[in-house]
Amino acid sequence: MITTSLLSINGDRLNDSINRLARIGKQPSGSICRLAFTPEDLQARYLVQQWMVEAGMSVKTDAAGNLIGTYAGKENIPALATGSHIDTVPSGGRFDGVLGVLAGIEVVRTLRDNDLRPRHPIQVIVFTDEESSMIGSQAIAGTVLLNAPEQYKPKVGESIQACLENLGGNWDDLATAKRTRADLTAFVELHVEQGAVLENTQAEIGVVQGVVGMVREAIAITGQANHAGTTPMDTRQDALVAAAQIVLTVQEIARQMPSRPVATVGYLTVSPNAVNIVPGQVELTVDMRDLSKNCLNQMRMQLKQAVEAIAAATHTAIQITPLLNVEPTPAMPQIQDTIELVCRELGLSYCYLPSRAGHDALEVGRITDMGMIFVPSQSGVSHSEAEYTSPQQCVQGANVLLHTLLKLDKIY
């Protein structure tokens, strides 16, 4: 039997699995279109399920359609879990989500190849519809809106009830998908970074500090549409001038916060939107993200105060409507420390960073200890056919996942 410190996943097998899965939903452009609940999604899930069974796992589908493979442990204790998603955006890449699922399967293959049984069962989870509703991870966390199926609108046109039934799930039994610490002792997700921090710092592995919280607000500005030539500058109620000040304020609020949050005005409409009319109505959205809940609250308060001042100065009426408030999920320090230790032992460079994109770990981390491992994304590109993480980088991430789970198996 091989010493666990010498274990290494089969890189050729992992990358072959990634390439095989990428054939399902591949478009002429080279992108992948595998929307949740589509025939392509079902085909991919079937293939992944086959690989789980071949790796020695028992497989089930819960009421939320989550595909869960379990590699039995030596003891009847809560599982160590890993996984991610295999659904894509309409023009996605081959690594987003997929790497985390297939690396988890490769970890189990490696354990089985070497006749190793950890203390804890190892579970690999394929979460349902991460790219849209996140219903799979929300159901596991118990945060899904059980009385509001209309909030979950699949892109394929059917009701969420019908979509879940197609996967082997059941909306009426959704509450049964909820897990607790009695089921999962910890969860570690491997994912491509989807940004350029690792590439810019030349770090091979990202030790994720947590998944940021997100606040989104809609802002409606009402001024007075009027003739652009005949309305004096000092009597205008220009909604777009007010909007421009808000855009700059959002940027300044984020820049002055010590935790380095991000904030974006990503949507803006102007009415009447004509060259010779002073704009009378503007609608925009603000997206703010940070690991600190206190920071997000401060940013919201500062924005509210600034908007009130801008409204008074521009003689406009401004209304703020909350759209989204997702609390951040910090990664467990003990898991971060373990990932760092593994990097040191494997001779891999690393850096600490937050995840500024949402992941299934955001929800699962609400019910158990959570950690995330990032590997680089070339040029920071994701959700695109240009998304690329090298075969070597995929293998490095999978090996870090393997040894992190082995160490956590002894710690928990």
CA dihedral 188, 205, 31, 11 (to 10 degrees): -80
Predicted pLDDT at 158 = 87
pLDDT score recorded for residue 2: 56
Q: Are 53 and 156 a contacting pair, CB within 8 Å?
A: no
* Contact between 227 and 276 (Cβ < 8 Å): yes
Query: So what's the pLDDT on residue 385?
Result: 94
State the CB neighbour count (10 A cutoff) for residue 53: 12
Can you tell me the distance from the alpha carbon of 337 to that of 358, in angstroms, rounded to the nearest whole number? 22
Supply 388's token pair.
């690329």
pLDDT at residue number 3: 66
Domain map (residue ranges) of the chain: 4-211+328-411, 213-326
pLDDT score at 37: 96
Strands 205-211 and 350-355: parallel
Question: 205 with 339: CB under 8 angstroms?
Answer: yes
Taking the C-alpha atoms of residue 374 and residue 198, their distance in angstroms, rounded to an integer, is 8
pLDDT digits (tens, 9 = 90+) for 266-299: 999 999 999 999 999 999 999 999 999 999 999 9
Residue by residue, DSSP assigns 345-366 as HHT--EEEEEE-S--HHHHHTT
Q: Model pTM?
A: 0.92
**CATH 3.40.630.10 applies to domain 4-211+328-411:** yes
Name the nearest CA neighbour of 231 among 282, 290, 279, 285: 279
Collect the ranges in the chain with pLDDT lower than 70.
1-3
Residue 85 to residues 13, 118, 134, Cα–Cα distance (Å): 19, 24, 10
Asked if the domains 4-211+328-411 and 213-326 are classified in one and the same CATH topology, the answer is no
CATH T-level topology, domain 213-326: Alpha-Beta Plaits (3.30.70)
